[in-house]
Chains A and B, each alone.
Chain A
């Protein structure tokens, strides 16, 4: 557990030290939102709740895939060997999932902020919306951390990352879009609890599997 926290702190410190990465990702999110804003010519038009939630989640999905992808892909070979000698595979994947959850959550928060400035803020039930954001960030990071580990070992890993992760993430994404739409429509909380429980269940399965499977890709 201690090692997990140490690794987590290391990730965070490294990330904060490399300003260029953070600014790169935030610029990426900003451009995505801005493109949505321009292409839908939102100065004159408004978009429906369904479109808002689909657009929002697509923007989040793309930025999250791009930012989490580097969790294993960007790292050098020597670093892997060093990790291997100091920590167990379980500790590493846990720290990555933990860190990536934080990253995804921060990204969704930034995305939401930008969306509410440029496009619209139709969210009425804030606590529910934030819990959806948190649960999906967790699910995204659990699956993307493992897949980035897989993709890092293969050739042309950046393309592979997208190809491998889309089918895995789609179930989560659909549930999130549906729950978000319920929130935007101002429906009662009880209508979304089913989706939230489903997302939570999928998250638990994915995290457990990532935990179990990671040591096999780590060993090579």
Chain B
């Protein structure tokens, strides 16, 4: 990853954190000041969807032309995506406590998010239970693609056809229409970009770590 991108990510996120807490936000009923969660909670989901899509992209490329490098990329993208998902659920729960009065409300969106995490936990369980490396890569790539396709209706269709209290569903104020006015938009978009950059940075760090650990292992093997 380019150095200026890393610097940009840090600068953007510092700006987002200050701006997100200090700048004026529109007054809405019920949500009030908690609307600031848009800057911190929603980018987690954008980041997660981006990272999982990248993971699926590398899985598809792996199936077309197998190489351990692509497999590693797809795993690490899924790993960091899972972290973003967990953070997204936690920030959402904090918001839900103040807006809905309960950490876990059983809202379709919350349930969908929890199931999304289940999919990727299952993905890691699958990886853990295959010994042969090449087979592990192939099976998990297949499951990654399949589960991602099965997950899409869960996140994007079902919450829209069932009643949900989540902003943006069933007539509740959402972050896309009138709610996100011009004062909020720049910070919101910047926050998304910043978090996605951080995610990609984390992935690249973990990839380098993996490569180095493998090298160390090889050297130690040679010694013995």
Which residue numbers of A lie inside 8 Å of B, CB to CB? 143, 146-147, 150, 153-156, 160, 163-164, 166-171, 174-175, 178, 194-195, 198, 201-202, 205-206, 209-210, 213, 216-217, 219-220
Contact = CB atoms under 8 A, between A and B. Distances in A.
15 contacts: A146-B146, A147-B146, A153-B139, A155-B129, A160-B125, A164-B125, A167-B115, A167-B122, A168-B146, A202-B150, A209-B145, A213-B145, A217-B139, A220-B135, A220-B138
Interface in B37-66: 63
A53 to B, nearest CB: 15
A25 to B, nearest CB: 25
A164 B145 contact: no
A191 B142 CA distance: 36
A168 B151 CA distance: 7
Given A147-B146, A178-B162, A216-B138, 14 more contacts: A150-B139, A150-B142, A154-B126, A154-B129, A155-B130, A160-B125, A164-B126, A168-B146, A175-B158, A209-B145, A209-B149, A213-B63, A216-B141, A217-B138
Contacts of B119: 167-168
A198 B119 CA distance: 20
7 tightest CB-CB pairs across the interface, nearest first? A167-B119, A168-B150, A171-B154, A167-B118, A154-B129, A154-B130, A155-B129
Nearest to B150: A168
A202 B131 CA distance: 32
A182 to B, nearest CB: 12
Contacts of A160: 125-126, 129
Contacts of B125: 160, 163-164
Contact of A171 (B122, B131, B143, B158): B158
A130 B95 CA distance: 42
Nearest to A160: B129
Contacts of A150: 126, 139, 142-143
A164 B122 contact: yes
B36 to A, nearest CB: 32
Contacts of A166: 118, 122
A217 B118 CA distance: 22
A169 B202 CA distance: 31
A167 B139 contact: no
B157 A198 contact: yes
Contact of A205 (B126, B149, B161): B149
Nearest to A151: B126
Nearest to A156: B129
Contacts of A155: 129-131
A51 to B, nearest CB: 16
Contacts of B131: 155
B130 A153 contact: yes
Contacts of B161: 194-195, 198
B31 interface: no
A219 to B, nearest CB: 8
Contacts of B157: 171, 198
Contacts of B116: 167
Interface in B110-150: 115-116, 118-119, 122, 125-126, 129-131, 134-135, 138-139, 141-143, 145-147, 149-150
A213 B150 contact: no
A210 B115 contact: no
A141 to B, nearest CB: 14
B186 interface: no
Nearest to B62: A216
Contacts of A175: 158
Contact of B139 (A154, A195, A202): A154
A84 B158 CA distance: 39
B138 A206 contact: no
A175 B161 CA distance: 10
B153 interface: yes
